[in-house]
Structure 1
């Protein structure tokens, strides 16, 4: 009688690999969110605007429109545009780099270095360069095992977590809980660290973000390429 091959879902080795890929993805997502939170806090304290939180910038932009504050309208309008462009460039760079995180993270690191080293009076270029980098960061990981994640914003993650909690209360098992909490906890921890660094170094604290981005790029070399291709936008 011929042997019937095991399905991937019932193969113990496949289950272990999938679990490991999930854990590695969780760790990478949390680390990238630490970077986003750190950069956002440094930028907010240094220049007074959000670097990665475009929901907040959009609300402030709408208020500025209502009040007729042209200066804020232009600055925040450019920020939203830079964030969108950064996301687009992140996908392009990721694709040209063979959907590996290292080239993307090194470019993000270079942009953050530029932002940190611009003259102190050049607040708008400093701000927009960092926003562009954070837009690109979202292309580093788009999903883990088919579950969508956001790196530079956490409202969606908290919403998905809450919905998973509701399903759990109804008796349904939702293993995506940890994945949805990882970006929020990472961003919170990063923002605390960023606030501490900015208090001591001012906008030059962005150099720590640049160094951390480069470090995460080097760490990504340890992640199997096939897993990275699954994480990054297709």
Structure 2
């Protein structure tokens, strides 16, 4: 037998929940992107290296190899490998914490605090701690209502927005492409804030990023568990 059709009010309730799940998810994406942009700007201005923008570090790596700059090549290889490790650790922490965002964001906050208060002149370990944190951040949200999102990189978001714009110009009315500007806007705003903080505090400005990560972790407790499971990687 076929299942009975859903009642109109049930369909409306489902649509309402999906709408709010999408809105809350994109608010979380925007906030986490602010964190990523802030941290990336602080690290870049303090060291000249990107903390979350591995496309930039990859291009710099290729240029260093072409120029025969062996010390820079080794440094950039280390940064890219550390980011990959951070992504892997993010999944491990997420799984062991039963895909709760709070433990993940608290680990990220702890790493950023370590970077902020690193006591020695060589800032490479502090930079690596921040890179691990940004890699782990990608395990906080992977998609919202089936739409893929990126937190520490926005090239994909701009590409998806551009393709959606092209389809819209051709008369296609697909949904979801406009929201891709949210992570881009969040990262842009965060980078501006990070640049201002770094000018006044140097690398110690990472403690502000740490505080934001902890606050967002606490805020995530207010998000329905089922919704959060839909946001995070499986």
Which TM class, normalised by the smaller chain length?
over 0.9
Provide runs of 4+ in structure 1 moved above 4 Å: 7-10
Structure 2: runs of 5 or more not aligned = none
Partner-residue secondary structure (3-state), 1:36: helix
2:154 corresponds in structure 1 to: 154
2:195 corresponds in structure 1 to: 195
Alignment of 1:102-121 (within 5 A): 102-121=102-121
Q: Is the 8 A contact 1:142 1:150 kept in 2?
A: yes
Distance 1:129 1:118 in 2: 10
Taking a change above 3 Å as real, the CA distance of residues 94 and 171 of structure 1, as seen in their structure-2 partners, is: same
Q: Is the 8 A contact 2:164 2:178 kept in 1?
A: no
Taking a change above 3 Å as real, the CA distance of residues 170 and 103 of structure 1, as seen in their structure-2 partners, is: same
Q: Note the C-alpha offset of 1:123.
A: 1.4
Alignment of 1:113-192 (within 5 A): 113-192=113-192
Distance 2:131 2:142 in 1: 18
Aligned length: 233
Taking a change above 3 Å as real, the CA distance of residues 17 and 69 of structure 1, as seen in their structure-2 partners, is: same
Distance 1:142 1:106 in 2: 18
Distance 1:3 1:67 in 2: 67
Alignment of 1:57-72 (within 5 A): 57-72=57-72
Distance 1:83 1:178 in 2: 28
Alignment of 1:17-28 (within 5 A): 17-28=17-28
Taking a change above 3 Å as real, the CA distance of residues 130 and 156 of structure 1, as seen in their structure-2 partners, is: same
Structure 1: runs of 5 or more not aligned = none
Q: Note the C-alpha offset of 1:177.
A: 2.5
State the TM-score, normalized to the length of structure 2. Answer: 0.96
Distance 2:9 2:64 in 1: 53
Q: Does 1:93 align with 2:90?
A: no
2:225 corresponds in structure 1 to: 225
Q: Is the 8 A contact 1:37 1:188 kept in 2?
A: yes
CA RMSD of aligned residues (A): 1.7
Distance 2:131 2:206 in 1: 12
Q: Is the 8 A contact 1:75 1:124 kept in 2?
A: no
State the TM-score, normalized to the length of structure 1. Answer: 0.96
Q: Is the 8 A contact 1:86 1:133 kept in 2?
A: yes
Distance 1:224 1:36 in 2: 24
Taking a change above 3 Å as real, the CA distance of residues 178 and 25 of structure 1, as seen in their structure-2 partners, is: farther
Taking a change above 3 Å as real, the CA distance of residues 8 and 43 of structure 1, as seen in their structure-2 partners, is: farther
1:30 corresponds in structure 2 to: 30
Report the more deviating stretch, 58-67 or 3-12. Answer: 3-12
